[in-house]
Amino acid sequence: MKTRLICLVILLILTVYLMSGQVATTDKMTTVNIMISTIYSTSMGMIIEYYSDNKLRECYLPNSFFEDRTVVKILEDNPHISPQMNIIYRNNEPYKVKLYVPSNPNGLTYQAIPFLSDDKVQMFNNTKKLVVPLKG
């Protein structure tokens, strides 16, 4: 009788342990593709300008985002490609960004900013989390 009770308790514990691993959370993944208006390359990262809801918006992408692969820059061989930003959302929060840019950029779409204003430096320093405003 005692061995049956011990076996039953072990079986119950084992069942609970195995069943708890089967409960998986499901993340809702969505993606949005945005045509970029202007890319500013700076010493602290990139500033992306794009239109959303007929308003010009900015997105700050510090160098740390590129280092930890939150933002991935994909170089295209076609020099005539329009730059695009593909945002991957996980549970309605920006999770990753893929930038599609030509490997040999030219024109007014790509600009380098050698010196940043104090406001821009402050924006880069305050950007700890990926934020890509689409509305609001």
Which pLDDT does position 26 carry in this prediction?
A: 79
| Overall residue count recorded for the chain in this entry | 136
Residue 47 pLDDT: 93
Predicted pLDDT at 14:
67
State which residues of the chain have pLDDT below 70.
Answer: 1, 5, 7-9, 11-12, 14, 16-25, 136
The tokens for 69 are 């692969």
Looking at residue 112, its amino acid is A
Q: How far is CA 96 from the centre of its chain?
A: 2
Of 108, 99, 107, nearest to 45 (Cα)? 99
User: Residue 19's pLDDT is what?
Assistant: 63
Q: What is the pLDDT of residue 63?
A: 93
pLDDT, residue 7, reads 65
CA neighbours within 13 Å on the CB side: how many for 76? Answer: 14
Rounded-to-integer distance, Cα 126 and Cα 51, Å: 23
Q: How high is the pLDDT of residue 16? A: 66
pTM score, two decimals? 0.74
What backbone torsions phi and psi does residue 77 show, to the nearest 5 degrees? Answer: -75, -20
